[in-house]
């Protein structure tokens, strides 16, 4: 039996955790890829995980590489490549550098892994996933951005922390761009099937929504240098696993909308069915007026960043 092949482009903190979780879930063999200057680091991480496998008996093979030929015929490619935002650096500075990186990645993925399902994690997410799609020419069902999966997971975590109930029994959804304008839909949040609005006061719920919007920034402040990596890695793996196992999970992802929710030609966080054909469906539902307004606001933010790519 052939194992699936998973390529992780970018061997930093998220990349390393993606490799670890892929091995633990035995989703397939893993190539942890980075630029030649970081070859020793990814080879070291791969070897370290290979030596961890006997403890729990995982048999996935993990390989570090800086040679694009090693990503050939990957089933899934998860992209975390790019530089993180440093103090004093504007979003535009970040975008111009990461745009160059994603363009190079897109050309190589197209060349060596043209049939892969691609999950983009690099920031600024909404523009980078758009750029990958444009440069690679991949079909819209094969490219998706990891945003809502993480934002919804953070929303769930905060609801669980607030109530003391199990995260397993919490359902919620965050739509829109991956940034401060994201739209947590509070009326759809349930705890054990009971509306969260019936269990948590309006003020506390609003505070949780606000914390969800700025959750990434909260971690950046605490670290002082760098950004979140455990939860982002788990979020991307949830998407990859739904594709590899044809699970048909409904996950809020940055998918290319062509008319859904009144959005046309942009990748934005929407409820997305991920199965063996990649993005199989975007599920539309009725939004209240204030939710529509918030979604349009987040769309404006996405449009602005995308226009800066010049693609």
Q: Which residues are catalytic?
A: 178
Neighbours of 7 (CB within 10 A): 28
Asked whether the beta carbons of 68 and 116 are under 8 A apart, the reply is no
Asked whether the beta carbons of 222 and 133 are under 8 A apart, the reply is no
Q: What is the C-alpha separation between 102 and 80, in angstroms, rounded?
A: 10
Strand ordering across the sheet containing 264-275: 62-65, 29-33, 5-9, 76-79, 117-120, 143-145, 249-258, 264-275, 278-282
Is residue 19 helix, strand or coil? helix
What tokens were used for 276? Answer: 């063996």
Is residue 210 helix, strand or coil? helix
User: Which runs of E-coded beta strand occur in 46-90?
Assistant: 62-65, 76-79
């Amino acid at each position: 039996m052939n194992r699936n092949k998973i390529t992780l482009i970018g061997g930093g903190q998220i990349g390393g955790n993606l490799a670890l979780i892929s091995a633990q879930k035995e989703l397939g063999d893993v190539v942890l890829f980075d630029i030649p200057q970081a070859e020793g680091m990814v080879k070291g991480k791969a070897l370290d995980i290979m030596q961890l496998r006997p403890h729990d008996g995982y048999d996935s093979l993990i390989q570090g590489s800086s040679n694009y030929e090693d990503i050939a015929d990957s089933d899934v490619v998860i992209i975390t490549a790019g530089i993180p935002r440093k103090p004093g650096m504007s979003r535009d500075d970040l975008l111009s550098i990461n745009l160059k990186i994603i363009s190079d990645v897109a050309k190589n993925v197209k060349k060596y892994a043209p049939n892969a399902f691609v999950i983009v994690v690099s920031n600024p997410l909404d523009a980078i996933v758009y750029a990958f799609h444009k440069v690679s020419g991949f079909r819209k069902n094969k490219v998706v951005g990891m945003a809502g999966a993480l934002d919804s997971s953070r929303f769930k975590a905060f609801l669980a922390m607030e109530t003391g109930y199990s995260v397993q029994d919490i359902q919620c959804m965050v739509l829109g761009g991956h940034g401060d304008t994201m739209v947590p839909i509070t009326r759809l949040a349930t705890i054990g099937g009971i509306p969260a609005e019936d269990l948590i006061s309006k003020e506390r719920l609003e505070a949780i929504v606000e914390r969800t919007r700025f959750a990434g920034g909260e971690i950046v402040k605490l670290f002082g240098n760098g950004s979140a990596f455990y939860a982002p890695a788990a979020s991307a793996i949830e998407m990859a696993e739904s594709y590899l196992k044809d699970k048909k999970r409904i996950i809020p992802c940055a998918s290319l909308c062509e008319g859904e929710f009144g959005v046309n030609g942009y990748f934005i966080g929407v409820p997305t069915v991920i199965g063996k054909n990649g993005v199989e469906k975007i599920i539309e539902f009725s939004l209240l007026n204030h939710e529509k307004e918030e979604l349009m606001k987040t769309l404006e933010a996405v449009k602005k960043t995308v226009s800066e790519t010049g693609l």
